[in-house]
């Protein structure tokens, strides 16, 4: 059987990354699970979680990351340069969506492998289950036009969140507070946000435009 050709990810190009749980299983039902995934999102990009971290430590680390504070250095091992940059993300019950830009060669596959394996190992142990947690390694689509970028940012930060919460600004496990409010998590770099605003236009991020988008999605 011929070997499947690996997808090429170009450094500096934005991509939509999606992964779903098998059988539509809820995998982000609890705050503890969400916090664990948030910490692993951060850790997988620059290293690995230190062994034997207590769940309370990971919860506190996740809260710090979302507030823009670095967790204690001892929480991470095997440090390396970031593999990707985020410009959007959301955890949505049985799936997650990322807007990613690879910063090194094979950055996205390396990052996704680390993240998926770490979370599946945690989830299977906690809930006493076996087998794959996700349907695939991940799905990826290149974003090549401003219109595609516009649609993706809205889809991740508005459409997906409204299925979880009536108020996107109150849902912490997404990039909405970083893009449309004053939060400055460690996921969305100031330089990335600057480029996003340059590509989409300042009006995209203003409250009047946002309210219009929310109304359209809710119809």
Give the CATH number of the domain where residue 22 resides.
Answer: 3.30.70.1290
Q: What is the mean pLDDT of residues 83-111?
A: 96
Question: Looking at the domain assignment, is residue 177 inside a domain?
Answer: yes
Backbone angles phi, psi at 134, to 5 degrees: -110, 155
Question: Looking at the domain assignment, is residue 103 inside a domain?
Answer: yes
Number of domains in the chain: 1
Residue 40 confidence (pLDDT) = 96
**Would you say 65 and 44 are in contact if contact means Cβ atoms under 8 Å apart?**
no
Q: How confident is the model at residue 1 (pLDDT cuts 50, 70, 90)?
A: very low
Which domain, by its residues, includes 188? 15-218
Question: Looking at the domain assignment, is residue 6 inside a domain?
Answer: no
DSSP reduced 3-state for 17: strand
Token reading at 46: 């620059």
- Angle 214-95-14 from CA coordinates, rounded to 5°: 70
Burial of 56 (0-12, 13-18, 19+ CB in 10 A): exposed
Structure confidence by residue, pLDDT tens digits, 32-49: 999 999 999 999 999 998
Question: Looking at the domain assignment, is residue 3 inside a domain?
Answer: no
What's the alpha-carbon Rg for the chain, to the nearest Å? 17
């Amino acid at each position: 059987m011929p070997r499947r050709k690996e997808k090429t990810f170009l450094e500096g190009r934005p991509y939509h990354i999606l992964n779903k749980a098998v059988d539509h299983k809820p995998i982000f039902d609890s705050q503890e699970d969400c916090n664990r995934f948030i910490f692993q999102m951060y850790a997988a990009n620059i290293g690995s979680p230190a062994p034997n971290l207590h769940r309370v430590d990971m919860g506190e680390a996740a809260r710090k990351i979302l507030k823009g504070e670095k967790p204690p250095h001892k929480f991470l091992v095997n440090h390396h340069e970031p593999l990707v940059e985020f410009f959007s993300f959301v955890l949505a019950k049985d799936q997650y969506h990322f807007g990613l830009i690879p910063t090194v060669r094979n950055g996205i596959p390396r990052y996704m492998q680390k993240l998926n394996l770490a979370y599946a190992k945690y989830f299977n142990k906690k809930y006493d289950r076996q087998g794959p947690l996700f349907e695939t390694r991940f799905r990826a689509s290149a974003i090549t036009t401003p219109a595609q970028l516009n649609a993706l940012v809205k889809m991740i930060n508005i459409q997906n969140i409204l299925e979880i919460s009536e108020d996107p600004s109150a849902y912490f496990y997404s990039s909405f507070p970083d893009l449309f409010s004053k939060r400055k998590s460690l996921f969305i770099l100031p330089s990335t946000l600057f480029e996003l605003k340059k590509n989409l236009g300042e009006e995209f991020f203003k409250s009047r435009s946002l309210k219009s988008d929310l109304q359209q999605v809710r119809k």
